Amino acid sequence: MTHYRHAAIAAVLIAGASAASAQTTIITREPVESQTVVRTESLQLTPVQRRTVYRTIVRERVSPAQPTVEYRVGTRVPESVRLYSVPQEVAVEVPAIRSYKYMVVNDRVVLVDPATSEVVAELID
């Protein structure tokens, strides 16, 4: 009789083990794409800040970008265009533009978001 009881216990353990393995859950995660910060709000500068940024950058005398191409706010800048870092003295006075790059086109300073390559502002005197 004990032989049957041991056989029954063994059968229950085997059945339980196979049922437990059937309930195994595997959780997979979606691959995380590059975590770039996308700015959804437009760059808001006062007239004094715009004038300060423009005049300081124009004094830098950087090589102008292609004058035949027209860049507007929201358009993407090709990778072939050379962008410059905002000068430290401007970043101190106008911290809102510290993370942007710029280029000069047709006597205009064009601020570009380096994460998205989009034009965020055009500054003229």
Q: What pLDDT digit, counting tens, does each position of 2-51 carry?
A: 665 666 666 655 655 555 455 555 655 555 444 444 444 567 888 888 88
Tokens, residue 59: 């004094």
Q: What pLDDT digit, counting tens, does each position of 98-107 carry?
A: 899 988 888 8
The sheet with strand 101-105 has its strands ordered as 84-85, 101-105, 108-113, 118-123
| Ordered domains of the chain (ranges, CATH) | 47-123 (3.10.450.160)
C-alpha dihedral sign at 97, 102, 104, 108: negative
